[in-house]
Chains A and B, each alone.
Chain A
Amino acid sequence: MIRTEEMLLNVGPQHPSTHGVFRIVLKIDGEIITDATPVIGYLHRGTEKLAEDLQYTQIIPYTDRMDYLSAMTNNYVICHAVETMMDMEIPDRAEYLRVLVMELGRVASHLVWFGTYLLDIGALSPFLYAFREREMIINLLNEISGARLTFNYMRVGGVKWDAPDGWIEKVREFVPHMRKELAGYHDLVSGNEIFLNRVHDVGTYSKEDALAYSLSGANLRCTGVDWDLRKQEPYSIYDRFNFNVPVTEKGDAWSRYQCRMAEIEESLKIVEQAVEQFPSEGAIMAKVPRIIKPPAGETYVRIESPRGEIGCYIASKGKKEPYRLKFRRPSFYNLQILSKLLKGENIANLITILGGIDIVLGEVDG
């Protein structure tokens, strides 16, 4: 008599498709996954605990290292929290710079996602094409902040550096270029029969599941929930721009792909408008006391990062360090649905599903 048994397969922490140090213990029957247990924490650095001994300005570099693919939004969320507590007025020019770098960062982040996702699915070239455009964005951000990934650009009350001469023009020129290349990506990938077969009806979940698992970002919008904090609870100056929130209905990997690709276009729209409206004069920093001491109390702010809803909770006792600081890290929440999605799928779909969630391990592990 033939005896079959389940095989235990450790995927990661060193595996080409786990996008960092993520490990998932699979029970497989042939190539079908019967059980999946994610194991996280390999990149845990204790950002929140460290922050309790740091002044607010000193915390900002730590946030760069959480979601290192879109460090600008992380910078913004902590500054925004402190500014909300201190009830600060931010100069217009600083807000425009912030929006510009955040939206450019969103495009860069989605490009990395697009490239690596296709790489996971087995197409080698889109990765390099996407990184070519991302490199242009990185260079722009490097020019304004002095760093390529960990920008440490924003400050409580504004931004650290003003835009160098000609920077705005470069951003203006980048937008049509990116649109052209994006059409090229669609030509190469979005109509490819093999790609469509790989992503259609893979990793599908319902609207109810998405809400119950507290998903956010494209992972939520792909189920038909129209929820983008830039529209729902406009922060910064997002109410001044005219853009749409891409929402798709099916909740599978393909709708997540469509959602993210459309978001790139919307971000470009915002960048275009921000460049047009950009004030030629003005301060880049508000009047900020030398030592930042938010009044005692609690606050929670949330903004839309490329991966979803990133939140920052600060409990202050009126000192120069926070008493307690907590980040709501979207990758961590989005990852929770993984083991539910994986049951009954085969190994090739594991890669498609994990890639489709778009996690950054620095953010998952904190």
Chain B
Amino acid sequence: MFRNLYADTRSILLNRGFRFALAAIVSWQLLFLLFVWLIQTLFFKEALTAEDVGFSFSSVAVFLVTGSSLYISGDAFSSGCIRNKIISGARRTEVFLSAVCGGMFQGVMYSMLACVVSVMVSLLFTAGYMSYSIQEIAEYWIVITMACAAIGAFSTALVMSLGGNQLSYIIGFALAFLLNVVSARIVDKLYPADGLCALTGTKLAAYSFFDRFIPYSYFTATPHYGMGNYVSGCAGLILTSLAAGWMVFRKKELK
């Protein structure tokens, strides 16, 4: 199992898609900084605060983690690596677990890099955080990291259970897009800019459940629940992906 984990981690680190994603994170945060600085300077004529630029990663995180894990695990299928592992005697359970751990590893790495870049950008180019304490910022990044790991696990499990089919990419990206859109709408309904939340009954329960326990919604706003909710949500997605994905993958006929 550790041999598989080592091999998978190594192949992720050497994968062009992984390095491209890391470069994209850095580029995005710097471009966002430039864009916001221009808006603030030209239109609002105000100084830049860390709140304006420090959370830019969340707007691309879902897509980036989904895309990267789909690409890298899809690559493993199309190149025949999964087939080779099984031929050489590795158990399906180990192959699957190792791949999902790889997906989680990717999510964690992207989030950590984004955190480092965000801190550096905040220190070098802004007047600092005005509304958030260090503890709140740390909580935010912990939640984002857990959510990225959960999404990485889910996307990888999806590819493994569908056998690297094009359908897995479409489902992965479509879910990322739809949940992103739905999350924004839910947050808007639960915490409207003007007035109080008008939702009641089942709708309120459903919206609240989504906001609390679905990791895709954690990128829409800064943490506003206890850490336990976020841990449960991320763990729930990871365990569901592992269980459902493993049940499909162990019986799957590979070509």
* A and B held together in a complex: no
Binding site for A on B (CB under 8 A): none
Interface residues of A (CB under 8 A from B): none
